Amino acid sequence: MATVAEVSDDLEKWPVFLSALSSYSDELFCKPIADTWSIQDIISHIMGWDKSLTKTLIQIINDEQVALQEHPDVQAFNDASVAFGRNMKPHDLLNEAIAQRKQMIRQLKMVSESSFVRQFPNSPYTMENFLQHMFVQHDRHHKEQIVKALQAIR
């Protein structure tokens, strides 16, 4: 089982990766790479999940009842997140996504280790395995997509 600090370190890899993308052009960010999604869309998609989890983490920190589960309509959530990002300049989105992930990590670090490994009521998840599955692995998947796309244009 991982600790809050270990998972936070894994989650910190995403904004580091995003920072490394800052030298690429807006045109490249907007070019479709994964089906119909562009790098900008992928970044916005992950940022939407980061925003959602940040709200959940605040509830956990405040000892509120939380349903830790997958979103009931993932497609609609993803579509809204991508649409949000398409209304931004790519590099502005990049900066906002970095800031959003860092905010999420700050909130995560305020969660107690006991809350982090506790089974949530009416949920198959602990915070630890939810983050590993829904965020850390998800980040890796999309990072690989972006890296492959960037390697293909070189």
- Tokens 């992930």 correspond to 101
**Distance separating alpha carbons of residues 53 and 61, to the nearest angstrom:** 12
What is the model's pLDDT at position 154? 66
- Tokens 């244009």 correspond to 153
* Residues 67-85: tens digit of each pLDDT: 777 777 889 999 999 999 9
For each successive 10 residues of the chain (154 residues), what is the average pLDDT?
A: 94 97 93 88 96 92 82 89 96 97 97 90 88 95 94 80
**Distance separating alpha carbons of residues 10 and 81, to the nearest angstrom:** 23
* Residues 12-34: tens digit of each pLDDT: 999 999 999 999 999 999 999 86
Count H helices, E strands: the chain?
Answer: 8, 2
Query: How many residues are present in the chain?
Result: 154
What is the model's pLDDT at position 7? 96
What is the domain class of 4-63+70-152 according to CATH? mainly alpha
Domain boundaries, the chain: 4-63+70-152
Mode of pairing for the β-strands spanning 32-34 and 37-38: antiparallel
